[in-house]
Amino acid sequence: MLRYLLLALGILTLGLLVWHIGPGHIYDAAAKLGPVALFVILIPSILMYAVEAYGWKVTLGPSAQAVPFWRLLAIRTAGEVVNMTTPTAYVGGEPLKAYLLKKHNVPIVEGLASVVIAKTTMTIAEVLFILLGIALGFWMLGVNGTSGQVVVAGVLSVGLLLFGTAGFMLMQRRGLFTWILETLRKCGLWIGFLEAREDQLRSLDQTILNFYSHHHGAFYASTGLFFLGWMAEALEVFVIVYYLGGPASLLSAISIGALSVFIKGGTFFIPGSLGAQDGGNLLLLKAFGYSDVTGITFALLRRFRELVWIGIGLLCLALPRKGESRQE
């Protein structure tokens, strides 16, 4: 019930923003964009998906190396649809990725270990990207007034995120899934599904630990690739602002892109971050000197990109089912 209430509130918020700024003004700004511009706007996200899929690939075990890259890209895109469309803190699609890998003869333990590790390296890269964006925001906007307060609040919040990420990595090194199982037992909760898979959970913890202990190069490579993926978000900001006729600055694009990612992550409990993400993008662009019309049109164009990838992701969800041999 709460999920639907938040969704309705998000739709209402977005609708009020559009109404306040003026649908006619927004239409005039968007009408200047032709099919070529819309395609170019999608190019950074294509790069982002491809680079991040490779960032996941380097965390996979030996048995996954036989899976074609295009198939890994399709599986990751399918999982990201679940992450984007459900209020699951952007982790709901991770088990799905491991399940789809299993259909290509990748052991479930190896697949689950890879998605946990990739989510960790992706989060580390995200924190670094946001910190870069905040630093640029400090430099470009200063620390006085409302903009400065927003940046300071962002620094404190990212500090908490960095602390949480470090804690998550420490738990992985000590056996995350075994710890969860033992904690549930201490609380008097005996979940049959987990109890029957205790050996698999211990094997999963060992696989993750082995990666961190013996594959430092893959760890750094994955983190670096995901950072490049986040930088593609900044490229998207630059391209959209350029086509909307605003003065496009690479440094401001990085800062806006990073702070936009931060806002989206902080509103994960709202389906699709609807309303909150759009209002946040509007305020960000206003802080950097752009008009209300540019800000809301920018937010709606990013929604257009998300809808395109949701459609592609749904196709990818159907794709693995074709031509597969049933394997139990």
56 within domain boundaries: yes
22 within domain boundaries: no
133 within domain boundaries: yes
**pLDDT number for residue 152:** 63
Q: Find which of 155-169, 252-266, 304-318 is predicted with most confidence, using mean pLDDT.
A: 304-318
Task: Give residue 90's pLDDT band: very low, low, confident or very high (50, 70, 90).
Answer: low
Task: Give residue 117's pLDDT band: very low, low, confident or very high (50, 70, 90).
Answer: very high
Mean pLDDT of 156-163: 73
Distance of CA 189 to CAs 25, 194, 198, 200, Å? 57, 11, 14, 19
Task: Give residue 180's pLDDT band: very low, low, confident or very high (50, 70, 90).
Answer: confident
**pLDDT number for residue 328:** 40
Mean pLDDT of 136-161: 68
**pLDDT number for residue 89:** 58
> In this structure, what token pair is assigned to residue 29?
């700004």
What DSSP designation does 60 have?
S
- Per-residue pLDDT at 144 exceeds 60: no
Mean pLDDT of 249-266: 87
- Per-residue pLDDT at 325 exceeds 50: no
215 within domain boundaries: yes
- Per-residue pLDDT at 72 exceeds 50: yes
59 within domain boundaries: yes
Q: Are 253 and 231 in contact (CB under 8 A)?
A: no
Q: How much of the chain, in percent, has pLDDT values that exceed 70? A: 88
Backbone angles phi, psi at 188, to 5 degrees: 80, 15
48 is in which domain, residue-wise?
A: 33-320
141 within domain boundaries: yes
Distance of CA 285 to CAs 83, 277, 292, 303, Å? 26, 12, 8, 16
> In this structure, what token pair is assigned to residue 321?
């089912």
The pTM score is: 0.86
174 within domain boundaries: yes
- 239-257 burial, b at 16+ Cβ within 10 Å, e below that, comes to bbbbbbebeebeebbbbbb
Count structural domains, the chain. Answer: 1
**pLDDT number for residue 323:** 43
